Amino acid sequence: MFAKWEKLGETILMNSVLVTGGAGFIGSHLVGHLLETGWNVTTIDNFDPFYAREDKLLNLSGYRARRNLRVLELDVRNYPELIAHAAGRYDVIVHLAAKAGVRPSIADPGDYVETNVNGTQNMLSFARHCGAPQFVFASSSSVYGVNPRVPWSENDHVLMPISPYAATKVSGELLGHVYAQLFGIRFIALRFFTVYGPRQRPDLAIHRFARMMTQGLPIPVFGDGSTRRDYTYVEEVVQGIAAAMKYDRTLFEIINLGSHRTVALTELIETIEDALGVKAVLRHEPEQPGDVPQTYADVTKARALLGFEPRMPFPTGIENFARWLRERDSLMAKVA
Ligand SMILES: NC(=O)c1ccc[n+]([C@@H]2O[C@H](COP(=O)([O-])OP(=O)(O)OC[C@H]3O[C@@H](n4cnc5c(N)ncnc54)[C@H](O)[C@@H]3O)[C@@H](O)[C@H]2O)c1
C-alpha cells in the first residue's frame, strides 16, 4: 500500500508522521494541525465502538480531501496487519490510540490491557521495524493516582494508579523506556490532564454534563462537588504534542501537559451553565471507585523542554466547546 503522495508522484521531501487514534478527539485535532504545518500524515484507527463511528468520521471529515493525508482503518492489536498495510518511512510515530476512560476500565480490564499494553508493545515493535527514530506516547495524569503531593511533578516517583486504565498507561511508559534504552528510539511520554474543547469524547464529564443539561436531565454530582481537575484545552495539548515530535535533546522523557490550574466540579457546572444558557439540575451521588479527589499538573518541565505555555481561559474554552456542540448537533440532525 502506498501513501497518496507517493501515488501522485510527488517528491517525498516533507516529514512523515504516523498518528494512531487519529480519528479520535485529540488525534483529529493533531491531524489537522500537522496537515496545516506541512507533514505527510498517515493515521491508523479502528473506529473502536467506545463511541459512535459517525462522530469519528465527522472529526476527520474536514481533512479527508487533503492529499498529504492517508487514513487506514487498522487495529493496533493486530501486528501482522500493521506491518502489511502501514509499514513505511516515518520520522515520528505519535501513539494516541487507546481504550480511554477510567470507569469502563474497571468493568473490562482485560480489554484495556489488550489495547493499551499489547497495542503499545505492537506500535513499539512497529517503530523498530520501520526504523522510526522518535515515538510520542499519550500517557495520562491518572498514573499519579491518589498522590497527595500537588502539583504533580514528573520527578515525583510515587505513582499510585487506582484503575486498570491508569496501570496500562504506566505500563506504556515503561515499555517505552525499554525501547529507548535497547534500540535508541527516542520516547516521549506526555501525561495529559483532562483534555477538553471541540470534539471532546462523549464519555467525559464536560460533554456528558452539557448533553444532560440541554435535555433537562439531572447531572450526577459524585461526592460533595469539591473534586478538582486540571483541564487542558485541546489546541494547547496539540501544540505540546507537536513540540514533543521535534524534541531531540534526550532519549527518554516523561512530561506533564496540563494547565497548572484546577477547577472544582461545582465551578465546572456553573461555567457550562453560562456557556449553554441553561440551569443544571443536580443529583448527588456517592464517590466513584477509581476517581481521584484532584488532578493538578506541574508544567515546569513542559515549559522548559517544549516551550509549553497554556493560556486558554477556562470559560472561553468551554464556550468554544458549547459552540461546537450546537454545530455538531445541527449537522447530525440534517444528515439524519
Ligand atoms: N482526553 C483526555 O482527557 C485524555 C487524558 C489523558 C490521556 N488521554 C489519552 O489520549 C489518547 C487520546 O484520547 P482521546 O480523548 O482523543 O480518545 P478517543 O477515544 O477520542 O481517541 C482514541 C482513538 O483511538 C482509537 N482506537 C481505540 N482502540 C484502537 C485500536 N485497537 N486500534 C486502533 N485505534 C484504536 C479509537 O477509535 C479513537 O478514535 C488516549 O491514549 C487517551 O488514553 C486522553
Query: pLDDT value at position 13?
Result: 55
Considering 63, 90, 144, 165, which one is annotated as catalytic? 165
pLDDT, one tens digit per residue, over 23-56 is 999 999 999 999 999 999 999 999 999 999 999 9
Q: Is the CB of 47 under 6 A from ligand 1?
A: yes
Would you say residue 92 has pLDDT above 80? Answer: yes
| Alpha-carbon distance values, 115 to 24, 185, 332 (Å) | 15, 21, 30
Q: Give the contacts of 120 (CB within 8 A, at least 6 positions apart).
A: 76, 95, 137, 171, 172, 175, 176
Mean pLDDT of the chain: 93
* Secondary structure of residue 211 in the 3-state scheme: helix
Q: How far is the CA of 59 from the centre of ligand 1 (A)?
A: 13
Domains observed in the chain: 4-195+233-258+293-311 (3.40.50.720)
Element (H, E) at 25: helix 25-36
Residue 115: pLDDT band (50, 70, 90) is very high
Active site residue 165: yes
CA distance 213 to 209: 6
User: Which residue's CA is minimally distant from atom 34 of ligand 1?
Assistant: 45
Please say whether the dihedral angle defined by the alpha carbons of residues 78, 81, 86 and 91, taken in this order, is positive or negative: positive
CB of 100 within 6 A of ligand 1: the answer is yes
243: Cβ contacts below 8 Å, ≥ 6 apart: 306, 307, 308
* 19 ligand 1 Cβ < 6 A: no
User: pTM for the whole thing?
Assistant: 0.95
What is the distance in A from the centroid of ligand 1 to the CA of 297? 20
75 CA closest ligand 1 atom index: 32
Summarize pLDDT for 190-205 with one digit per residue, the tens.
999 999 999 999 999 9
